[in-house]
Every structure is written in structure tokens, then in C-alpha cells.
Amino acid sequence: VYQLKRRQIFSPGEYWNNRITELSSQLQINKRVLLLQSGIAKIPAVIGYFKPVILFPVGMLTSLPPKEVEAILIHELAHIRRKDFVVSMLQHIIEMIFFFNPAVLWASSLIKMERENCCDDIAVSQTDNKRKYINALIAFQGTSPRTNAPLTPDIDREKVN
């Protein structure tokens, strides 16, 4: 976490600093949220509880349309509003203690998915164009290192014909 916040970090510019402040107040977040571009992060992420930082992959602020970037920022701000960083840390501790219990790991994976779904719901409710948010999610899914499968399945042409 220390490395992510301090290495290969770039300022997003005055426009995005102002937008993150406006979006934070729109979501009723009283903390100052810092937005940084990261050469290490491959997907947007929130780090920290007392001094939250949103890390955005370098180049994504300029490669996506502004409305799509704002939708993703609202999603990340929703994690801050819901205090997901603390919940995630507690969840990781429980996973370490009960690493041998498949029920705990299964429940933990469900909680992670629901946490993301809740933030998606907040982002969709705050966004005027839901299609922009979906397009932004697809853009990040395509670049995500966690993606185990391609967005489109391979088609075996021999079986189709």
C-alpha cells in the first residue's frame, strides 16, 4: 500500500481535482479525497480510510470520455462513503484466520461481490447516463489483470459449422 501511494504517482490536473471535490460533496463525503494517477495500478482503487486516495491508472483519465471517468470516480467514492476499506481489512483478517474453512471463503467472496454491486448501484443512481457507466466498466474490465476469461468467449468454428 505504501508503494502504491508513493511510487510512479502523477497529478491528475486541476480539473479532476476540482471534480473529485464536487463529486465528494455530492455523495456527502466530508473527508478530503485525493485523486492520483498511478503507473502501478491497473484498475481504479481506493486506498486508506483516514486519508483516502483514489488511484487511477495513468492515461485512463484522458483515454475515456469525462462522463465515463466521473462514473468510475463516483463508484470509487461510494467505497469511501460506505467505509469499505475498513470492512475489507476485517474481511482479510477473518480470511487469514479461517483460511481452511471453505464456507468462510465462499461467504467472503459473496460479500466482496455485494460490496461492488452496492457501489455500482450508487454510481448508477448518481449518473445521468447509465450507458456511460457500463461503457467505463467494460473499458476497465478489458484492461484488468484479474480477468481470467476474455470478454468474448472463443468460438470453436468447427463446432459452429
pLDDT in tens, 49-86: 888 999 888 888 888 888 888 888 999 999 999 998 88
pTM for the model: 0.77
Q: State yes or no: pLDDT of 152 exceeds 60.
A: no
pLDDT level of residue 106 (50, 70, 90 thresholds): very high
Q: State yes or no: pLDDT of 47 exceeds 50.
A: yes
Point out the least confidently predicted range of 92-101, 105-114, 121-130, 141-150.
141-150
Query: Pick the residue with more confidence: 56 or 140?
Result: 56
Checking 34-40 for CB contacts under 8 A at 24+ apart, the result is: 35/73, 36/5, 36/9, 36/10, 36/11, 36/12, 37/9, 37/10, 37/11, 37/12, 37/61, 38/4, 38/8, 38/9, 38/10, 39/7, 39/8, 39/9, 39/10, 40/3, 40/4, 40/7, 40/8
Give the per-residue pLDDT at 91: 93
- Measured between alpha carbons, how far is residue 16 from residues 39, 76, 102, 153 in Å? 17, 14, 42, 36
* C-alpha cell at position 63: 483515454
Give the per-residue pLDDT at 145: 43
